[in-house]
Structure 1
Amino acid sequence: MRQALETVMASVPAHQSVFGLKAAVAECILKAAAHGQTSYDGLVASASDQIQAMISMLS
């Protein structure tokens, strides 16, 4: 899960990396895992699909 988090965060441009984003991405990954998503690619995809919404929410 940590590697999935780091992969998603590495894809976020520096100017979009807002306070609290890493925690929100981690929460998203944990929720996906709790719902049965166990593959690395699936966890990355789950978080990546929601990254813009998280940035908007935290901005």
Structure 2
Amino acid sequence: MTLALESGVHPKVVQEILGHSDVTITLNTYTHVIPRLHKEATNTVLNRRINANPAVIDS
């Protein structure tokens, strides 16, 4: 399921496929081995913030 998460499958979908009672079980089990997901998430948030408010670049 690590490959599914890396491929962009939503964690809730992976949770349901695996039958985990809570999505945190899925995330705690699989995402700690994918540091790239953290970097991509950070970049996505930063890009959205910059696109929403170009003045952020100056600060």
Give your verdict on TM over 0.5.
no
Q: Which has the greater radius of gyration? A: 2
Task: Give me the TM-score of the superposition, normalised by structure 1.
Answer: 0.35
Which structure would you say has the larger RCO, counting Cα contacts within 8 Å and 6 or more residues apart?
Answer: 1
